[in-house]
Amino acid sequence: MSSWFSIAGCIQWSSFENQNSINGLRLDTQYNTVSSCQQYCIDAVQCVAVDFNLIESTCWVHLDVDDLAPNNTFNLLNITQYQITRNCQNFTGTTTSGNVCLHNVFNAVIFAKLKPGFHSNAIACVACVA
CATH classification at residue 21: 3.50.4.10
Condensed to tens digits (0 to 9), the pLDDT of residues 11-27 reads 899 999 999 999 999 99
> 81 pLDDT exceeds 90?
yes
82: confidence class by pLDDT, cuts 50, 70, 90: very high
Cα torsion 46, 42, 86, 50: sign: positive
Domain holding 80, by residue range, is 11-86
> 32 pLDDT exceeds 50?
yes
- 54 occurs within a structural domain: yes
Whole-prediction pTM value?
0.65
> 122 pLDDT exceeds 90?
no
Q: What gap in Å lies between CA 49 and CA 80, rounded to an integer? A: 10
Measure CA 118 to chain center. 19
Condensed to tens digits (0 to 9), the pLDDT of residues 53-69 reads 999 999 999 999 999 99
Q: What is the mean pLDDT of residues 104-123?
A: 41
Q: What is the per-residue burial (b if ≥16 Cβ within 10 Å, else e) of 96-128?
A: eeebbbbbbbebbeeeeeeeeebebeebbbebb
Query: How many domains does the chain divide into?
Result: 2
Q: 40 and 79: one domain?
A: yes
